[in-house]
């Protein structure tokens, strides 16, 4: 069976609409799964319509590629740990980037052989290769940092930005030269330089800025698909590329806003590198010392509380403490305590990371509140339990204009009656800023591994409490 | 209107759709959003199919195309399935 170009175009249109509805489904957890299924159907329609079109004639390589990809993809999806989701996503972004590069080169080879190259197409090809290559190597660096293969610390050297800018300009110039002269050498050089650029752009960015980087690379992978769409004159690729590109761009914006930093600052500025000359408010407060507490102290306050708010952060993910938290939540609820979870937009290593981990532990999503919803509730909370979060509850963001995190929206944990921090050590958060909340009169720190501490709380509650 | 201009029209309008649809996504589903957009950016598989399946494609183009098909289908299958796995975990309070 073979379908006409018009039938194929209609099929692509249907598939584009299904993709839009798929994204629309994510408006609410209740409609999200249906949305995902619509996305799968859209993808199925697009692939079948392409295979049935008159351009695809040989199927050997295609069947082999799809079969192998299906097996690898399914195994990855089934096996990945929820805490490793940022790594998986980074890896998948790199695949889209590499696929875009390969498709562009393959298209060049096919058109070169047929003698149908033209300058517009070569310009579009170059765009696809450049964006794809940057997406690929940038995602590889992000993956390596998330997986701990390389240090998450920012790698910086003098003249770095100048070097990157020079390489970017050179890459574009090579693309233009290729478009005008069909020079193979320029094409190869441009491709290699774009790969290098991806590395050097992401390597200076610290591990804790990963939510922004993941979103940015998500966006790039969309633009890479759109550029491929322009090259091939395929409107479906263009539509999907624009949707994905904007999705990533909006997420980057939301993440930056939640840190009160500009995207320029995240991409080019190191964080926590400057040190204030004078002693800051945090430094003065440090002289007051901090109070430490035991598990029993915290239980004493929590078991009779009306409301307990839990603030999870990346430390919860590292300690895998979400399941213990769920058990504690149930024990507290059985005693009539209202338990809520407060999520800061940049908690974790990717957007929405905490929500997925809490969902994994079977914590109902109506217990999990976003920053704007939960902030009015802190003044009426008897206890706030901070599990592996730090900067996102630091009142210095509001009160200390000399602090690097000044102006960042925070969770108002400081306003609750009692605050308990679960911490492994006194080290500051990723911003390198001391947390003023540690020194507040109603704050105590419980030192130790988050999971062990919470399990301790669970057994204390099971044993009848204090 | 030349094809490239039509493509540009579609691109710009699709950007607006993307803008409005994505702002509607609830923050609690941002990780599934990244995974789902990842899956649908696997649509690049269409480009890979067109390169690989061309009757006159040379050996080099076929090889590049094959690897592209492989990578893109890992994205498609991996992306949709992992999104589904995550979304299945988001539950309301039962009982």
Contact between chains at A218 and B61 (C-beta distance less than 8 A): no
Q: Which residues of B touch A239 (CB under 8 A)?
A: 10-11, 14
Contact between chains at A29 and B64 (C-beta distance less than 8 A): no
> If pLDDT is split at 50, 70 and 90, which confidence band does A289 have?
confident
Judged by DSSP in three states, A329 sits in: helix
Q: Is A304 exposed, middle or buried (0-12, 13-18, 19+ CB in 10 A)?
A: middle
pLDDT of residue A273: 39
- Quick one: what percent of chain B has pLDDT higher than 90? 82
Token pair recorded at residue A39: 């996305």
Q: In whole angstroms, what is the distance from residue A20 CA to residue A439 CA?
A: 49
Rounded to an integer, the average pLDDT of A381-402 is 89
ipTM over 0.85? The verdict is yes
The reply to whether A333 touches chain B by the CB within 8 Å rule is no
**Which residues of chain A from 264 to 323 reach within 8 Å of chain B, CB to CB?**
none
* A339 phi and psi angles, rounded to 5 deg: -115, 130
Contact between chains at B44 and A228 (C-beta distance less than 8 A): yes
CB A181 within 8 A of CB A384: no
Token pair recorded at residue A161: 């930005």
Q: Is the pTM of this model over 0.95?
A: no
User: Which pLDDT tens digit goes with each residue over A1-13?
Assistant: 788 999 999 999 9
The reply to whether A373 touches chain B by the CB within 8 Å rule is no
Mean pLDDT (chain A) is 89
Torsion of CA B27, B28, B32, B38, to 10 degrees: 20
> If pLDDT is split at 50, 70 and 90, which confidence band does A436 have?
confident
Token pair recorded at residue A147: 């997986």
> A267-273: long-range contacts (C-beta < 8 A, 24 or more apart)?
A267/A201, A267/A205, A267/A216, A268/A161, A268/A204, A270/A154, A270/A156, A270/A204, A270/A206, A271/A154, A271/A206, A271/A208, A271/A209, A271/A404, A271/A430, A271/A431, A271/A432, A272/A404, A272/A430, A272/A431, A272/A432, A272/A433, A273/A154, A273/A432
The reply to whether A362 touches chain B by the CB within 8 Å rule is yes
Sheet bearing A383-387, strands edge to edge? A368-370, A338-343, A307-312, A383-387, A418-423, A443-447
CB A454 within 8 A of CB A385: no
User: Which pLDDT tens digit goes with each residue over A200-211?
Assistant: 999 888 777 888
CB A35 within 8 A of CB B22: no
Mean pLDDT (chain B) is 92
> If pLDDT is split at 50, 70 and 90, which confidence band does A276 have?
very low
Residue A274, pLDDT above cutoff 60 = no
pLDDT of residue A34: 96
pLDDT of residue A221: 95
Q: Which residues of A touch B88 (CB under 8 A)?
A: 33
Distance from CA of A156 to the nearest CA of B (A): 28
Q: Is A378 exposed, middle or buried (0-12, 13-18, 19+ CB in 10 A)?
A: buried
Distance from CA of A281 to the nearest CA of B (A): 33
User: Which pLDDT tens digit goes with each residue over A306-347?
Assistant: 999 999 998 899 899 999 999 999 999 999 999 999 999 988
Token pair recorded at residue A298: 């915290």
Placement of tokens 């002289």 in the chain: A287
Contact between chains at B37 and A24 (C-beta distance less than 8 A): no
Size of interface A-B (CB pairs under 8 A): 381
A296 is catalytic: no
**CA-atom Rg of chain A in angstroms:** 26
Taking every pair of C-alpha atoms in chain A, what is the biggest distance, in angstroms?
A: 82
DSSP E strand stretches across A313-411:
338-343, 368-370, 383-387
């Amino acid at each position: 069976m073979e379908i006409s170009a018009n039938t194929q175009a209609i099929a692509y249109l249907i598939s584009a609409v299904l993709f839009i509805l798929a994204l629309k489904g994510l408006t609410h957890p209740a409609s999200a799964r249906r949305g995902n299924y619509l996305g799968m159907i859209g993808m199925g329609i697009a692939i079948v319509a392409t295979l049935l079109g008159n351009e695809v004639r040989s199927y050997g390589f295609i069947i082999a590629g799809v079969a192998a990809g299906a097996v690898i993809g399914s195994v990855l999806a089934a096996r990945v740990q929820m805490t490793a989701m940022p790594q998986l996503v980074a890896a998948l972004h790199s695949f889209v980037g590499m696929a875009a590069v390969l498709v562009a080169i393959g298209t060049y080879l096919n058109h070169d052989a047929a003698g149908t190259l033209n300058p517009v197409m070569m310009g579009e090809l170059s765009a696809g290769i450049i964006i794809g290559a940057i997406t690929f190597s940038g995602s590889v660096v992000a993956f390596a940092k998330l997986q701990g293969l390389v240090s998450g610390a920012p790698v910086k050297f003098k003249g770095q930005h100048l070097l990157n800018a020079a390489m970017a300009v050179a890459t574009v110039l090579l693309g233009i030269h290729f478009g005008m002269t069909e020079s193979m050498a320029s094409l190869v050089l441009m491709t290699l330089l774009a790969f290098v650029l991806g590395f050097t752009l992401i390597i200076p960015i610290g591990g804790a800025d990963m939510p922004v980087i993941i979103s940015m690379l998500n966006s790039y992978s969309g633009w890479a698909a759109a550029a491929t769409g322009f090259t091939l004159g395929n409107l479906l690729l263009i539509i999907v590329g624009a949707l994905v590109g904007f999705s990533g761009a909006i997420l980057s914006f939301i993440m930056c806003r939640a840190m009160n930093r500009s995207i320029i600052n995240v991409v080019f500025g190191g964080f926590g590198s400057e040190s204030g000359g004078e002693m800051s408010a945090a430094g003065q407060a440090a002289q007051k010392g901090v109070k430490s507490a035991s598990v029993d102290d915290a239980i004493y306050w929590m078991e009779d509380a009306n409301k307990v708010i839990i603030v999870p952060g990346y430390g919860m993910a590292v300690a895998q403490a979400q399941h213990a938290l769920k058990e504690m939540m149930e024990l507290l609820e059985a005693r009539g305590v209202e338990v809520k979870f407060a999520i800061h937009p940049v908690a974790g290593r990717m957007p929405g990371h905490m929500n997925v981990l809490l969902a994994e532990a079977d914590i109902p999503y109506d217990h999990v509140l976003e920053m704007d919803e939960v902030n009015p509730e802190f003044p009426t909370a008897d206890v706030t339990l901070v599990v592996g979060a730090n900067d996102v509850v630091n009142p210095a963001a509001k009160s200390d204009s000399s602090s690097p995190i000044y102006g960042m929206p925070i969770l108002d944990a400081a306003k609750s009656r009692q605050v308990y921090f679960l911490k492994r050590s006194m080290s500051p958060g990723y911003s390198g800023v001391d947390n003023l909340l540690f020194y507040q009169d109603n704050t105590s720190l419980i030192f130790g591994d988050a999971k062990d501490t919470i399990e301790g709380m669970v057994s204390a509650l099971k044993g009848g409490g204090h | 209107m030349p094809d490239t201009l039509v493509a540009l029209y579609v691109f710009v309008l699709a950007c607006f759709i993307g803008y409005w649809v994505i702002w509607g996504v609830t923050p609690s589903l941002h990780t599934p959003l990244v995974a789902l957009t990842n899956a649908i950016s696997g649509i690049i598989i269409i480009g890979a199919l067109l390169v690989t399946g061309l009757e006159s494609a040379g050996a080099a183009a076929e090889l590049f195309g094959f690897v592209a098909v492989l990578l893109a289908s890992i994205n498609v299958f991996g992306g949709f399935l992992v999104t589904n796995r995550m979304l299945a975990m988001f539950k309301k309070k039962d009982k």
